[in-house]
Copies of this chain bind each other. A is one copy, B any other.
Amino acid sequence: MSELARIIEALLFLASDPLAVTELCEVTGESAAAVGAALEELAEAFAPGERGLVLRELAGGFTLASDPIAEAAARALLAKPRLATLTPAQLETLAIVAYLAPVSRPEIARIRGVNADSPVASLLDRGLIEESGRSQFGAVVYRTTTLFLKVFGLQGAGELPDVAQWDPTPEEQRALRERLLAAGEARAGIASE
């Protein structure tokens, strides 16, 4: 293994966040081409089935992770599941933060229609979201973390599919609008009786 590949392997081992090629160039003083070649070398060394570790490309960079082959033993050793399950409320809150960041707790509550204190607290606690400043009204705003990208295997929040794809079709929306309008008029009718 080349010296540069060895250095990069050590850096990937030490860093908790994925490392981008530009970062690797900067701290090793090597060209992007050289770093690219070293990463190729590592990708080969860590090809699936070769070792206990795998090289993953995530969150705009590279990181090492344990191979799934070790999952049973890792669970026994670390005495905790790979991921604690996320409740529906936590997933919904996470989705809102992922799509709308920076977003404040009152905004999340408005969209969900229920108080968001508890899911926000547990997502913070698990490191999936973090504070990113304050809104113009002084409320703390949140964004997703690199851990979120790692856990969900994403390159960046921009990789999430367009949220509008889950909207009802225009026909369905029209039907919905008509029903709501009819309900409103029915109420108006009751009032004028």
A residues apposed to B, CB below 8 Å: 1, 3, 5-15, 19, 23, 26-28, 50-53, 64, 66-67, 69-70, 73-74, 76-78, 87-89, 104-106, 112-115, 117-118, 121, 124, 130-134, 137-140, 183, 187, 190-193
Contacts of A112 in B (CB 8 A): 140
Contacts of A19 in B (CB 8 A): 77
Number of copies: 2
Given known A27-B76, A88-B132, contact A52–B10 (CB-CB < 8 A): yes
Contacts of A138 in B (CB 8 A): 113, 183, 187, 190
The chain B residue with its CB closest to the CB of A19 is B77
A13–B53 contact, CB under 8 A?
A: yes
Main secondary structure of the interface of A (DSSP, over half): helix
The chain B residue with its CB closest to the CB of A23 is B77
9 A–B contacts, CB within 8 A, in A order: A10-B52, A11-B77, A13-B13, A14-B74, A23-B77, A89-B130, A113-B138, A113-B140, A114-B140
Q: How far is the CB of A66 from chain B (nearest CB, A)?
A: 4
In the assembled complex, the Cα of A8 lies from the Cα of B74 at a distance in Å of 9
Contacts of A69 in B (CB 8 A): 3, 6-7, 10
Given known A191-B105, A191-B140, contact A14–B131 (CB-CB < 8 A): no
Q: How far is the CB of A24 from chain B (nearest CB, A)?
A: 8
Contacts of A3 in B (CB 8 A): 69
The chain B residue with its CB closest to the CB of A8 is B52
List 16 extra interface pairs beyond A27-B77, A106-B191, CB under 8 A: A6-B51, A6-B69, A9-B51, A9-B52, A11-B70, A13-B52, A13-B66, A14-B74, A28-B73, A87-B130, A88-B131, A89-B140, A105-B191, A115-B124, A139-B187, A139-B190
